[in-house]
């Protein structure tokens, strides 16, 4: 089988699986469901993927990558790196608000195992950290940022953003969330020191 044919079959499986995972969640979707919708025999699915989790993980990664790429396209490369970090964080939050609106009506049981739940959020956070690391390294190289330990600095910035979770987005009214995020970003950029 050619690479193109393999790629096409995997794409078909992922498209069908994405639709089923979104509709029914991970737990309720079976490989039989995916095979039936693809009009494949179930063993054909196993030729391309080891199990349902492997399909789900690939779909989740694609969803998260799409989300972060959409944010990165809007981050201005003309800004100083500290302002790019703020812009990146703010745009990520703004897009996360839209993402959360999509799931507000979904049952909470779907949060953990659906494409509109925690797996995508976790993957977005991982990609978010990767981009933060890149910004930190750029700032250190060009002299606009100064820090002693890259890993500690990265984890600190990521930790500050980790409170933005689906349950938090559900509990806190949007106008208050917006003010909290804006304040958090100002503290990250300028600190809490009194300015003269």
In this structure, what token pair is assigned to residue 37? 């919708």
Of the candidates 122, 121, 119, 108, the residue with the CA atom closest to the CA atom of residue 171: 108
In this structure, what token pair is assigned to residue 92? 């990520």
Q: Is 136 left (phi over 0), alpha (psi -120 to 50) or beta?
A: alpha
Q: Per-residue pLDDT tens for 89-123?
A: 889 888 888 877 765 555 454 444 455 456 777 78
Mean pLDDT value across residues 46-50:
95
User: What are the domain boundaries of the chain?
Assistant: 3-49, 57-190
> Which residues fall within 8 angstroms of residue 75, CB to CB, at 6 or more apart?
84, 87, 88, 91
3-state secondary structure (DSSP) of residue 82: helix
Mean pLDDT of the chain: 84
Share of the chain above pLDDT 90, in %: 42
Which of the four CATH numbers 3.20.20.70, 1.10.3720.10, 1.10.10.60, 1.20.200.10 does domain 3-49 have? 1.10.10.60
More confidently predicted of 175 and 2: 175
Q: Per-residue pLDDT tens for 129-153?
A: 999 999 999 999 999 888 899 999 8
> Which residues fall within 8 angstroms of residue 33, CB to CB, at 6 or more apart?
20, 24
Whole-model pTM?
Answer: 0.75
Q: Per-residue pLDDT tens for 54-81?
A: 999 899 889 889 989 999 999 999 999 9
Q: Which fold has domain 57-190?
A: Tetracycline Repressor; domain 2 (1.10.357)
Helix (H) and strand (E) counts in the chain: 10, 0
Using CA of residue 125, residue 131, residue 134, residue 140, what is the dihedral sign? negative
Of the candidates 59, 58, 67, the residue with the CA atom closest to the CA atom of residue 91: 67
Identify the pLDDT of residue 109.
42
| Rounded-to-integer distance, Cα 65 and Cα 128, Å | 10
The reply to whether 57-190 shares the fold of 3-49 is no
């Amino acid at each position: 089988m050619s690479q193109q044919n393999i790629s096409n079959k995997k794409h078909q499986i992922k498209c069908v699986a994405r639709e089923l995972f979104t509709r029914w969640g991970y737990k309720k979707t079976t490989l039989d469901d995916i095979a039936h919708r693809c009009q494949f025999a179930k063993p054909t699915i196993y030729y391309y993927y080891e199990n349902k989790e492997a399909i789900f993980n690939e779909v989740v990664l694609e969803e998260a990558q799409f989300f972060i790429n959409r944010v990165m396209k809007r981050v201005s490369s003309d800004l100083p790196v500290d302002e790019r970090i703020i812009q990146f964080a703010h745009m990520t939050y703004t897009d996360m608000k839209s993402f959360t609106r999509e799931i507000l009506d979904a049952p909470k049981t779907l949060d953990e195992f659906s494409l509109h739940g925690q797996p995508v959020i976790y993957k977005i956070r991982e990609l978010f950290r990767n981009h933060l690391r890149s910004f930190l390294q750029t700032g250190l190289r060009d002299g606009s940022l100064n820090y002693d330990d890259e890993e500690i600095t990265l984890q600190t910035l990521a930790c500050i953003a980790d409170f933005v979770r689906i349950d938090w987005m559900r509990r806190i009214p949007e106008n208050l969330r917006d003010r909290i995020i804006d304040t958090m970003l100002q503290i990250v950029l300028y600190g809490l020191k009194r300015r003269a």
